[in-house]
Amino acid sequence: MVSTTTGKIAEFRRLLSRAHSVLVLTGAGISAESGVPTFRGAAGVWRQFRATDLATPSAFARSPSLVWEFYHYPHVALAEAEKRFEKEGKRFNVITQNVDGLHRRAGTQNLIEMHGNLFMVRRTSCEFIEENNGSPICEAFANRRSADENSPEIDEKDLPHCRKCKSLLRPHIVWFGEHIWNDVTEKVEKEIQLCDLFLVVGTSSVVYPAAGYASILAERNIPIAEINIETTPSTSIATYHFHGPAAQLIPQLLSVNIV
């Protein structure tokens, strides 16, 4: 349920229209509705369509683009806002903690995937990174069930390997115990420096370093808008807490005409 007042939204939009460098930090909450949308209630209506009417094979046959867009809409709203800002000669950047690749697929260009991307793989020998959309990623996974605890380990030779150098591949993701890559940290620091309006969307704000960005910016008196269905450690320092689902609030706040 969105409890945000219309007055606050109008106030935020005025700030947005004056901003020159918008930075959006996203977390898992922005993707919550992409695969598992709310099917009933107010949040179940997108544009003039009911979710239950869109998530059907016949809707997909009629308009595959519409159905794909439905599953991407908070991400699409950010990508649309980026285009509009760029046309106006302003900066609009997204930093995501998510590895699902949905911002990229929705068309966001100015994107920092700080924890990597599930559809990128890296060679264990030389750190070469490449896109891999294979599903399953290799034959050995074809008939395995994740729930089957007793299935034998897959022999290393049957795991994904680079076709050229033959070295074992790994997901290009920052795992627990690993550090965020230096080039990513540098890009993030630059955006934090330039940012004059910060949006924090669908993140619990407990995992660092991302959890610390709001306080760095609050110290510089940069306005912060949090969008979340719960309160988080960022709520008390945010200028605005917009309480509700990202898919509903982002298009509204950014005045993107896809709802």
Residues tagged in the binding site annotation for NAD(+): 27-46, 97-100, 202-204, 228-230, 246
- Nearer to ligand OAD by C-beta: 27 or 223? 27
The three-class DSSP label of residue 214 is helix
Contact 234, 200 (CB under 8 A): yes
Contact 254, 16 (CB under 8 A): yes
What's 114-133 look like in SS3?
Answer: CCEEEEEEEECCCCCEEECC
- Nearer to ligand OAD by C-beta: 111 or 246? 246
- Exposed / middle / buried, residue 247 (Cβ in 10 Å: 0-12, 13-18, 19+): buried
204 binds ligand OAD (CB under 6 A): yes
Nearest approach, Cβ of residue 251 and ligand OAD (Å): 12
Nearest approach, Cβ of residue 63 and ligand OAD (Å): 24
CA atoms within 13 A on the CB side of 68: 8
Nearest approach, Cβ of residue 26 and ligand OAD (Å): 8
Site for ligand OAD in 34-93 (CB under 6 A): none
2 binds ligand OAD (CB under 6 A): no
As given in the structure block, the two tokens for residue 19 are 């901003």
Binding interface with ligand OAD (CB under 6 A): 27-29, 32-33, 97, 115, 174, 202-204, 207, 227-230, 232, 245-246
Catalytic machinery residues: 115
